[in-house]
Chains A and B, each alone.
Chain A
Amino acid sequence: MNGVLAGALPAVPLLVALVGLLLPLRARRTAAALGIAGAAVALADAVALAARVKSPTTGGWRLVDFGGGLVVHVSYLLTPAAAVVAVAVGTVALAVQVYSVSYLHDDGRYPPYAAQVSLFTAAMLLVVVSGDLILLLVGWEVMGICSYLLIGHDRTLPEAPAAAVKAFVVTRLGDVGFLLGIALLALAGHSFDVATAGARPATIPALLLLAGVAGKSAQFPLHTWLPDAMAGPTPISALIHAATMVAAGVYVVARLYGVFTPVALAVLGVIAAVTMLLGALAATAQLDIKRVLAWSTVSQVAYMAGGLAVGVPAAALFHLLTHAAFKALLFLAAGAVIHAVGSNLMTRMGGLRAAMPVTFWSMTVGLGALAGLPPLSGFFSKDQILAGAWGAVRHAGPAPRWVAVVVLLAGLATVAVTGWYATRLWLRVFFGPLLGAAHDPPALMGWPIILLAVPSALLGLVVQFAGTFPGLDWLSIGALLLAVAGGAGAWRLWRRGADAVPAVLANAFYLDDVQDALVVRPTLALASAVRRADESLVDGAVEGTGGGALGLGALVARWHRAALPRAATAVLGGALLIGIAAIVLVGLR
């Protein structure tokens, strides 16, 4: 039964997606119904699994044998963690499907959109349940292509196609490492089995896997695609940021945790520390509401990575779940705001508190959770990561102690910055003078927001009272104070009507330009050079051979235009020369 449920988890949305892709463009209602049904079935399935699975179970069958023990299986590996993550994925997917019906009500190409969301869901669920590394890679990369398709969905945004390409190419670059890492793991263990391969510590494969993780989870230095990906429709941002793409990286590290040696975890910790600060700082200086949220994702996912680095994967997954809830909530609510205002820019927003009460309260819950205010979910999950880091500082975790110190310091600093940008967003959107008429979204958009507000608010409490994690200590209070201090700073600035937007932060330390200068432009220049070389040298040699033969032919033909006496002399002379040559040669022998 578990096998059927595990198989159905990705299979149902996949089938829905395949059917949806074949629908005619007009079949909007069918597509919407299919998409919602697919996500609902997946969610129900995930809930059932979460209730049933108490210990790791596995199963599957052989797909293909590539020799040398490299047998690919269609297999699942169910753990309680996997089931819970699947629930989160299902929930967000369902919310997104429902929300999109209304959000994209005038979109002419709804069926492929809904199908691609289903495919995205299927791919993520495949990553979640897969018991085989190759199968995991399939889901991993299909997510990438879905993000490409969906980010580029909006035909009116001129920057959308380029953002879509960037998203896929950057993550694909990381996936080069991911593939190599998987290959090395499999070759060392003669198996693609997640459980087997994931239990063998190995530094180099782990570092290679991290490249893929950094790409998918938008960690430094492969984070550059995520802010641009805001060109996609808002529900897609919710999907990518909350439950699928970026969560996948963290999830896979947790799932293959046994592979990560101290060295690999140290690298992960440094990446996490850099990324969480970088993301949070960049978020303080954005004017586009979605970009604020995007940078906050970069930063929050880095928390999870930090948790993994200091040896508390359970806390990281906890934060993954709470983040899934509140980030989905924030994006969907932001979508409602954008829907109402008609712009992404916070300069066009303000005073929406009264006009959009549902959105306001939901967003307040979401931002509170993001900033880590008790008793909202983010408070607890973030706290567990910080506590884990502190524990690693004191007792030494799997990673070196200095890594825990770095993660802890960066985490605490980020708490303050997060408080700052969350408050800034809250104030700029909902307070101050009202800039125009606005109203709460229609029911199909409103309900998903309200529903997501529930776990955003309560998930932390529930888990905490379930007693899975240790209680609170002075660190929690310190972090809370930092968050409040950050918020207060933002409030003071806002009161003065000032908004510091340092260019270096707004441009996220110009890392995009660095990437452009160091990778993109050299590659393109190399491409042109190679093309020219291929055409003029390699092909030139071929054409030259042909031309040379023709030229030689002409030359030899010219020798033959001699008049008769010379021709006769030539024959005689030729014969004599050959004769003499033969005599000399034979004589010499």
Chain B
Amino acid sequence: MSFDHVALLPAYLAAATAVAAFLADLIAPGRGSAVAGVTAVGALATGVVAILVGRGPVRRTFCSADCSYVADHRAALVAALFAALTLAVVALSVPVPRLGEYYFLLGCAMTGGVVLGYAGDLITLIVALETLTLPLYILVALKRGTVDAAVTFFIVSVVSTAVALLGAALLYAGTGAVHFGRLVAALETGHRLPLTTAGVVLLLAGLSFKVAAVPFHAWAPPAYDGAPLPVAAFLSTASKLGGVIAILYVALDALRPAYDIVAPTIAVLAVLSMTVGNLVALRQDRMVRLLAWSSVAQAGYILAPLAARVPGAAGAAATLGYTFLYLVLELGAFGAVIALRGDDDGGAIADYAGAVRRAPWAAGALALALVGLAGLPPGLAGLFAKVVVVRALLATGTGWLAVVVALNAVLGLAYYLRAAATLFAPTPAAARTRVPWPVAAALVGATVAAVVVGFAPQLVLAATQP
């Protein structure tokens, strides 16, 4: 068996980043910024190499009958995204001294994400996803007094993984295949057993835990709120991206012939997620909880295009496009929260009153991100994100879901706007908040990206086209 090391290069680099972070911490204990620098360089290199590899021809490796590792254009995009998100989260983490293993764990999680993009079979996919998630249990628990949240996260996660594995096992039992291509072939030709149906649904259900889709979302709000803010940012961006990619691959690559089961399952998940997420978010008075519940709702929008009756590239492109725009905005929101509040705690929404006087740029960025997440100008990126989803749904004749998405946007605006308006609430003048430069850089990066893709969404749409 020969390995295509070029195709594997991004995965190597990601793993190397984790190892380097670990070693750097050993060599220079207590020098947090050096470790962070090493991690950042590693993440950057991973991303760049992923893109370079992706520009070449499609490469496959770990092949038997079919390949477990496929380095195509889409995989490169996913890997680069994970690297970029890791880089941003590292930047957001720098100002506060971390335990040595912090960056190592981030690197590990990134490795999982990068490999996930290249996954060509269910086993690789689930393992990569677990690699992405496992370090997060520890990262969430890093903050004092939040073990409860971490344990909930852990237990629910284990249950979900079990469900996903059960689903994969049932599928294997029904079809004898784990590779995407062969699953398609088997499902197309063979008679479909009830067992297969259950396998499809359970697999999707297990995976939807990662995107915090309802009803597999309960872990997210306490975990986000309990985690250090950069970790929460990672959870709501990279971890969610992992779930989205997993579902996308499974739904479109592996289970395409079973789309008559996939579509309604995802539709149920999407509708529940956006509705429940938005409704509960209405009642949140802590900033991070609000973002957490809103990200539950966003998961619903993300999944919605996949609920079209016919599996299609359009739906996948819409999901990817929306995800990308969401990541940019969500990162901007967390970056701004960190810039305003420091590392530890998002605090109550009421604490943000008058933030625009203390830190006009950061507060402006937060407002832009929130409004963007709500999908309104001046957050044009968010507006186009909604347009992408609705358009995809209507193009595939899933009009009812488009209406549900649209109405949920109204619910969403209610709380996003409440948070955004608080920033501008009149308060007595206060001292300016100082924002550390790495945080500022990450925030500027995210905000500029949001503005750029707001005016030129074609960049995203072109990148996500199949």
Contact = CB atoms under 8 A, between A and B. Distances in A.
B422 interface: no
A578 B268 CA distance: 10
B194 interface: yes
A70 to B, nearest CB: 41
A176 interface: no
B282 A549 contact: yes
Interface stretch (A53-61, A317-325, A568-576): A568-576
B276 A556 contact: yes
Contacts of A583: 194, 197-198, 201
A571 B216 contact: yes
A567 B279 contact: no
A552 interface: yes
A400 to B, nearest CB: 64
A562 B148 CA distance: 12
Interface in A530-547: 546
Contacts of A564: 148, 151-152, 155
Given A550-B282, A586-B261, A567 B152 contact: yes
A554 interface: yes
A560 B284 CA distance: 12
Which of A568, A570, A578 counts the most B-chain CB atoms under 10 A from its CB? A578
A467 interface: no
A199 to B, nearest CB: 57
Interface in A573-589: 574-575, 578-580, 582-583, 585-587
B215 A571 contact: yes
A570 B218 contact: yes
User: Size range of the interface on A?
Assistant: 20 to 34
Contacts of B148: 564
Interface in B50-75: none
B411 interface: yes
B201 A578 contact: yes
The DSSP consensus for interface residues of chain B is helix
A541 to B, nearest CB: 15
Contacts of A67: none
Contact of A552 (B265, B268, B279): B279
Given A549-B411, A567-B156, A578-B205, A560 B283 contact: no
Contacts, number: 86
A582 B218 contact: no
A579 B205 contact: yes
Given A552-B279, A560-B280, A568-B155, A582 B411 contact: no
Interface string B183-196: 00000000000100
B111 to A, nearest CB: 27
Contacts of A574: 205, 215-216
Which of B151, B159, B219, B284 counts the most A-chain CB atoms under 10 A from its CB? B159
Contacts of B283: 550, 553-554, 557
Contacts of A575: 159-160, 163, 202, 205-206, 216
B276 A571 contact: no
Contacts of A567: 152, 155-156, 218-219
Interface string A334-370: 0000000000000000000000000000000000000
Given A553-B282, A564-B152, A567-B156, A572 B163 contact: yes
Contact of B159 (A571, A582, A587): A571
B159 A572 contact: yes
A474 B201 CA distance: 109
B305 interface: no
A579 B411 contact: no
Interface in B121-166: 148, 151-152, 155-156, 159-160, 163
A366 to B, nearest CB: 72
A579 B198 contact: yes
Nearest to B198: A579
A430 B442 CA distance: 100
B413 to A, nearest CB: 12
A579 B202 contact: yes
Contacts of A585: 264
Contacts of A556: 276, 279-280
B198 A549 contact: no
A578 B279 contact: no
Nearest to A577: B215
A42 B142 CA distance: 95
Contacts of A546: 414
Contacts of B279: 549, 552-553, 556
B200 interface: yes
Which of A562, A567, A570, A579 counts the most B-chain CB atoms under 10 A from its CB? A579
B286 to A, nearest CB: 12
Interface of A: 546, 549-550, 552-554, 556-557, 560, 562, 564, 567-568, 570-572, 574-575, 578-580, 582-583, 585-587
Given A575-B216, A582-B265, A583-B194, 15 more contacts: A553-B279, A557-B280, A564-B148, A564-B155, A567-B152, A567-B155, A568-B156, A570-B218, A571-B159, A571-B160, A574-B216, A575-B159, A578-B268, A582-B261, A582-B264
Q: Which 6 A-B pairs have the closest CB atoms?
A: A553-B282, A553-B279, A582-B201, A574-B215, A553-B283, A575-B163
